[in-house]
Amino acid sequence: MSEQTGIDLSLKLLRVGEAAFELSVDLTLPSSGTTVIFGPSGGGKTTILRAIAGLEPDVKGHIRINQQTWQAPGVFVPAHQRRVGVVFQHSALLPHLSVEQNLRYGWQRVGGTAAEYAQCVEQLDLAPLLQRAIGQLSGGERQRVALGRALLTRPDILLLDEPLAALDAARRSEILGVLERLKQTTTIPFLYVTHAVDEMSRLADHLVLMKGGRVRQAGPALEVMNHPDAPLALRDDAGVVVQAQVQQRDAHGLLTLQSPMGRLYAHGPAHTPGDRLRLRIHARDVSLALSHHTDSSILNILPVTVLALRDGAGGQALIELSTGDQPEQRLLAKISHASVARLKIAPGMSLWAQIKAVALLV
């Protein structure tokens, strides 16, 4: 890759007629890590990826990837000359070739080394699949092969367009784990499109919120996800994302975690001490109490201070809280207006937040 200077996009598209749509985007994105473009269907997320790949000639503007101009007035680098790896919702593998032949197809075209090939096969655990036909693969296996094929083309950027949308829950969890490990071992920037909150929460280093062809908010992922004014806070699945480190795991799968909120307990996959992970805490899973209860099954009980109250739909209130151990770490609680009145909750009030260990999403 060339010197890392960032990814600059200024894209405009106007379609008229029955399917009228207008895209207007100006973005500067990091040249490393995973940028997630998040939002509802029809908001322009896939159009951005297609424009970067050179597949949307009607899009006007400029695209610059690490000092390389791929599109500008009078300049349009065709798709086959752009060093882009693409993984779609459906793997788009070549069905008449074996797994190994699919992997070697792009690798040989760019003159890849044997070491690169071996590393990719090991990272994605593809060795048991190499001699299989594509038709013999599960959905999760197909996506692992598609990832490997894309990475072996030595791309300047890897574009992932809802790659987990066609998978069942078990396969989605499997590939999410693969992507989490992969992003820690590669310097290739990922641009990942999704409308799934769990994928965004676990993968994003940088986050772009889109709706109706416009960028609503963009910035470092945890700042955007946890900002009380973010559109995410208005959704039914409002919540916060917290970085944590595994301290221990007991025989029943209970994880003891250290986080900016203090010690937390959660159930999750077989993590080991020292693993870093993200927790998503839904506002609907946080209850509030005036005093610290010890006669409860709830393991996570945190001292908090009320920062603000917001009206929600259906007689609900969204309470913004700061945690006792690290006041800048925010927590959200969604409770009824009746509970707000009964507990006389107001800004500045000290309370206890209660979260079941099984409710923390690892």
Closest-CA residue to 291 (of 349, 348, 351, 356): 351
Assign domain 7-227 to its CATH architecture: 3-Layer(aba) Sandwich (3.40)
Q: Residue 2: its pLDDT value, please?
A: 39
Give CATH for domain 239-359: 2.40.50.100
Query: Global pTM?
Result: 0.84
Q: Residue 84: its pLDDT value, please?
A: 93
Average pLDDT over residues 330-337: 92
- To the nearest 10 degrees (0 to 180), the angle between helices 114-123 and 99-109 is 140
Element (H, E) at 182: helix 169-183
Hey, which bits of 268-326 come out as E strands? 276-282, 286-289, 300-311, 316-323
What confidence tens digit (pLDDT) does each residue in 158-169 have?
Answer: 999 999 988 888
Residue 186 above 80 pLDDT?
Answer: yes
Q: How far is CA 274 from CA 33, 244, 249, 267, 358, in A?
A: 21, 10, 11, 16, 21
Residue 306 above 50 pLDDT?
Answer: yes
Where exactly are the structural domains of the chain? Answer: 7-227, 239-359
What confidence tens digit (pLDDT) does each residue in 17-53 have?
Answer: 667 788 999 999 998 899 999 988 888 999 999 999 9
Residue 331 above 80 pLDDT?
Answer: yes
